[in-house]
Amino acid sequence: MTVRNTQTGSNITIRPTRPEDFDHVLPLLHQLWPAKPLDLGAARAIFDRGLASENRAYLCAGDGDEIIGFGTLIIRDCLWLQGDVGYICDLVVDQERRGTGVGTALVEKMIEIARLRGCLRVELDSGFHRTEAHRFYERRGFAKRAFLFSRVLE
Ligand SMILES: CC(C)(COP(=O)(O)OP(=O)(O)OC[C@H]1O[C@@H](n2cnc3c(N)ncnc32)[C@H](O)[C@@H]1OP(=O)(O)O)[C@@H](O)C(=O)NCCC(=O)NCCS
């Protein structure tokens, strides 16, 4: 999937992430979670496991050799839905390139994959402070329908 960036005139390609992309995805993850120290070994292991899993699609947005966006889709089953749901995680676009259509292209590609996999919905959770992202999702047809409850295990 290729999207024309009208601001820069460049072509943005939405493509599956490859193992060698890890070092380029890492700075984007730092932008997504600026206060969180990342354990590189643990992140690498999860990244590699995700790439190998048939129930996950790791996508990135490339502008030439540069990776300017990233997001993951997890396919999981759901008794309530009586079918599968595509769960969007880790969506982030480089802060210099936001507002130019890259996030929309990543979400559209994830929706396309979820449909092809027979999912009945796409869903995600998003922190309270991400008000701009909430507006982004709502303007793309996502509706708030639940709270996320989370407990730390010690
Ligand atoms: C949310 C995010 C992925 C959207 O990607 P994007 O490439 O900026 O999105 P697009 O250019 O396709 O669309 C821009 C839309 O998002 C909105 N937007 C949200 N955050 C924005 C930001 N930081 N900069 C510019 N636009 C932003 C714009 O107002 C615009 O709204 P509209 O088209 O509905 O009027 C991206 O802004 C981002 O990485 N934000 C920080 C990380 C984050 O919060 N991720 C979501 C985790 S749940």
Q: 7 in helix, strand or coil?
A: coil
Q: What value does the mean pLDDT take over residues 12-37?
A: 97
Confidence of residue 6 (pLDDT cuts 50, 70, 90): low
Closest ligand 1 atom to residue 32 Cα is: 42
Enter the pTM of the model. Answer: 0.94
DSSP assignment of 76-128: EEETTTTEEEEEEEEEEE-TTSTTSSHHHHHHHHHHHHHHHTT-SEEE----T
Q: Is the pLDDT of residue 8 over 90?
A: no
What letter does residue 54 receive in the DSSP assignment? T
For 47-103, how does the pLDDT look when each residue is reduced to its tens digit (9 = 90+)?
A: 999 999 999 999 999 998 899 999 999 999 999 999 999 999 999 999 999 999 999
Q: What count of other Cβ atoms lies within 10 Å of the Cβ of residue 110?
A: 24
Kindly give the distance from the C-alpha atom of residue 25 to the centroid of ligand 1, in angstroms, as a whole number: 17
Q: What value does the mean pLDDT take over residues 27-51?
A: 97
Which residue out of 10, 29, 136, 140 has the highest number of ligand 1 atoms within 8 Å of its CB and is therefore the one to mutate? 136
**Please, what are the domains in the chain?**
2-138 (3.40.630.30)
Distance CA 75, CA 110 (A): 10
Any ligand 1 atom below 6 A from CB of 139: yes
Which residue out of 7, 59, 98, 139 has the highest number of ligand 1 atoms within 8 Å of its CB and is therefore the one to mutate? 98
